[in-house]
Amino acid sequence: MAAGVLVLAAGTVAGCGDAGAAITRLTVGSPGRDPYTLAADTDQVKVAPRPARGGTMDGDTPGLYGGTRRISSCDQRRLVAFLQANPDKARAWAGVQGIPVSDIARYVSRLTPVLLRTDTLVTNHGYRDGRATSEAAVLQAGMGVLVNGYGVPAVKCNCGNPLTAPESKIKTSGARYSGRKWSGFQGRNVTRIRPRDSRRGTITVFVLVDPGATMGFERPRATAGTDDGPPLPLPATETAPPSGSPAPVDSGDGSPGSPAPGDGSPAPGSPEPGSPEPGTPGSAGPESPQPGVSPGGGPGTGTTTGTGGGPDEPGTGSGTETGAGTPGDGPQSPVISMAPPTGSAGSPAAL
């Protein structure tokens, strides 16, 4: 009898991971279900894939994100104005981010616009019937997002939806996927993004790569392109991994503040950027490593580059395919531009 109980307990522990979770794929240009609003020209289709994909990556890894030098993929001022004009949505949006409504402008001003360079697992929060919704989602590489000072996606630019970290128990390797599948999609290449170690403070400069992976450049935190640095050689992280290397297993580890494996010496720091463009000028104030978690202290001094950590146990497998697609999936084009829907009650207004 006791042996049977032990066997049952062991089986229960082994099944704790949510390998059969439902995950929605969202292609570039797709707002998905329940968008807060709609915005144009935020995403790009032709983004050169990053050599290291899958597993868990630190938010300050050089080359993790991309962008077009001196151009922003997000209009932060218009997002703030939209939320200020729609108080019900503002309350839901701020609730997801764990901030008071009065702090939305300042919070958004501290974010940095970038392009995803890997298919990325997040929790996507929409808005329906006066409340925030929540679903696990994979955002296709090329989608524009706003990231916080620890390098974690906080806003989906083409719809204004707040983003938070995925649940740690979700495994991309055995998931049930819905939504249109794009060319090259594999569950093992889906990336989780872990906040920069909070003991090192916030990032001061992001090292980005242009969409064609022809050059790198630096973008100071909380700036939108006008302060981008000159073209630089591609970061060392752009070197392709050796062929034939074994595929690690998805760890599902997304805990903030944990030291990065193989952490090297940080590069010299850069000064904190000046007054933010949208919102209240002045000090950036406290910031939490994870969106949706109330800040517990002021940011420290960041460094120019990240830890340089590589993939942390990428997943294996592409999951189960279900569903025909998600609302808003449409044909792709080199530059994504979305027009607001017309003629339907309750449709989101365009930014």
What is residue 321's predicted lDDT score, i.e. its pLDDT? 40
Nearest to 321 by CA among 32, 53, 24: 24
- Mutual angle of helices 87-97 and 76-85, in 10-degree steps: 120
* Mean pLDDT rounded to a whole number for the chain: 76
Can you name the residues that pair with 24 across neighbouring β-strands?
A: 137, 178
Strand order in the sheet with 216-220: 153-156, 144-147, 112-116, 65-66, 205-209, 216-220
Q: Is the pLDDT of residue 9 over 80?
A: no
What average pLDDT does range 136-144 have in this prediction? 98
What average pLDDT does range 159-169 have in this prediction? 96
Q: At which residue do the structure tokens 């794929």 appear?
A: 25
Q: Is the pLDDT of residue 104 over 70?
A: yes
CA gap 79, 295 in Å, rounded: 22
Q: What are the tens digits of pLDDT across the range 192-218? A: 999 999 999 999 999 999 999 999 999
What is residue 239's predicted lDDT score, i.e. its pLDDT? 78
Q: What are the tens digits of pLDDT across the range 48-76? A: 999 999 999 999 999 999 999 999 999 99
Share of the chain above pLDDT 70, in %: 64
Residue 129 CB contacts under 8 Å (≥ 6 apart), including other chains: none
What is residue 174's predicted lDDT score, i.e. its pLDDT? 85
Q: Is the distance from CB of 28 to CB of 78 less than 8 angstroms?
A: no
What is residue 291's predicted lDDT score, i.e. its pLDDT? 74
Give 325's pLDDT tier (boundaries 50, 70, 90).
very low
Q: At which residue do the structure tokens 């420290």 appear?
A: 300
Length of the chain: 351
Q: Is the distance from CB of 30 to CB of 337 less than 8 angstroms?
A: no
In three-state secondary structure terms, 65 is strand
Tokens of 213: 């992976």
What is residue 336's predicted lDDT score, i.e. its pLDDT? 45
Q: Is the distance from CB of 65 to CB of 149 less than 8 angstroms?
A: no
What average pLDDT does range 21-29 have in this prediction? 96
Q: Is the distance from CB of 136 to CB of 94 less than 8 angstroms?
A: no
Residue 337 CB contacts under 8 Å (≥ 6 apart), including other chains: 40, 41
What is residue 213's predicted lDDT score, i.e. its pLDDT? 97
Q: What are the tens digits of pLDDT across the range 261-318? A: 333 333 333 333 333 334 333 344 456 677 765 444 333 333 333 333 333 333 333 3
What average pLDDT does range 6-31 have in this prediction? 67
Single-letter residue type at 316 = T
Instruction: Compute CA distances 107 → 102, 118, 154, 211, whole Å.
Output: 10, 25, 10, 27
Question: Is the full-model pTM beyond 0.85?
Answer: no
Q: At which residue do the structure tokens 């973008």 appear?
A: 219
Q: What are the tens digits of pLDDT across the range 170-183? A: 999 889 999 999 99
Tokens of 327: 């609302």
CA gap 272, 208 in Å, rounded: 17
